Structure 1
């Protein structure tokens, strides 16, 4: 698997001298349009919930509110990327009071001007801590499970699993139909560039 370290490439038809003198091909964060093309190419059909990583599910509001299904899936932790009462999923820790559930909520709007990046590292820490115990099962959700929740999980893959934004998108979209809004894609691109500099 590739990482944020530079990727070397060799020209197929190059002479030995050209290969030795050519600079190392480095990964460059793609633009927003390129990321949208990647997102739209060959995605799976939309469903309520999908396992996108070992012990990690991304789902929608219906999944988050269906306690029987959560028990069936063995969910022990929930990251609500759409906490709040207006156009969000108003569950909160109290909603799961009758279950042995660890809850983490993020108050975020699915609009291009919202700064979701302020939660990238705290959400990544929550996911990382959850997955440190192989018995735990995590649901990351928002209203549709396609923009806010997907963006936070993509950020986790980039921060904690050393993936580029392209690798993270390719991984998740092969398992779930995701559509981060344009503003969130821009924030993921900025994160990608920050991580590349380190």
Structure 2
């Protein structure tokens, strides 16, 4: 069982997450650095090629890809050396973003592993993009949902919708089970 501050970790409820994310909100800009070489932002930053070039962005995850959302795509960035990954997601509590958690996390991890800089965005940079970054931190960096939310929230005002928060809760529970199972199998005595 994961420990947090000396006690067993429990996945927070959606309402606990919302209370945390909505408390002491501060305005954030169009783009924020939330993890080493990982940024979250909005459509304005996604369309600002000079800004992206100046930041040294090498990879983009568009969590609101395609019409009628932020219809940039690889053609929009064809004059730049950018690898593009699009996720056609709606910012709706009924939209299932979970199927994109692992593929997006792999894309981000591979980019960072090659020394890249990754910009993850959606329309406003608070719900879809934040959800995918939280999932990445949980899957690839072994953070709990609570730790991931706290880490990102220190740098950007985020607020995934209740449906996305619930999907992140399920991911958190699943990852905690996997880690517990791995830990149990390491600690189990081997008989010959």
Q: Please say whether Structure 1 and Structure 2 have the same fold, judged by a TM-score greater than 0.5.
A: yes
**1:117-144, CA deviations, whole angstroms, 9 ceiling, x for partnerless residues?**
010000000000000022x111000000
- In 2, the alpha carbon distance for the partners of 1:44 and 1:92 equals 30
**Paired position in structure 1 for 2:186:** none
Instruction: Kindly indicate whether residue 54 of structure 2 is the aligned counterpart of residue 79 of structure 1.
Output: no
Structure 1 contact 77–103 (Cα < 8 Å) conserved: yes
Q: CA deviation at 1:41?
A: 2.3
- In 2, the alpha carbon distance for the partners of 1:7 and 1:92 equals 40
- Secondary structure (helix, strand or coil) at the match of 1:103 reads strand
**Paired position in structure 2 for 1:159:** 139
Structure 1 contact 43–176 (Cα < 8 Å) conserved: no
**Paired position in structure 2 for 1:62:** 44
**1:83-126, CA deviations, whole angstroms, 9 ceiling, x for partnerless residues?**
0111x100000111111110000010000000000100000000
| TM superposition score normalised by structure 1 | 0.87
**Paired position in structure 1 for 2:30:** 48
- Equivalent residue in structure 1 for 2:95, among 98, 109, 114: 114
The higher radius of gyration belongs to 1
| TM superposition score normalised by structure 2 | 0.89
Counterparts in 2 of 1:85-100, with a 5 A limit?
Answer: 85-86=67-68, 88-100=69-81
- Secondary structure (helix, strand or coil) at the match of 1:178 reads coil
Moved over 3 A (4+): 6-9
- In 1, the alpha carbon distance for the partners of 2:27 and 2:35 equals 17
Structure 1 contact 78–140 (Cα < 8 Å) conserved: yes
Q: Structure 1 residues 8 and 63 mapped into 2: Cα distance closer, same or farther (>3 Å)?
A: closer
**Structure 2: stretches of 5+ with no match in the other structure:** 179-192
- Secondary structure (helix, strand or coil) at the match of 1:175 reads coil
Q: Structure 1 residues 68 and 192 mapped into 2: Cα distance closer, same or farther (>3 Å)?
A: same
- Secondary structure (helix, strand or coil) at the match of 1:187 reads helix
**Paired position in structure 1 for 2:154:** 174
What count of residue pairs does the alignment treat as equivalent?
178
Structure 1 contact 83–89 (Cα < 8 Å) conserved: yes
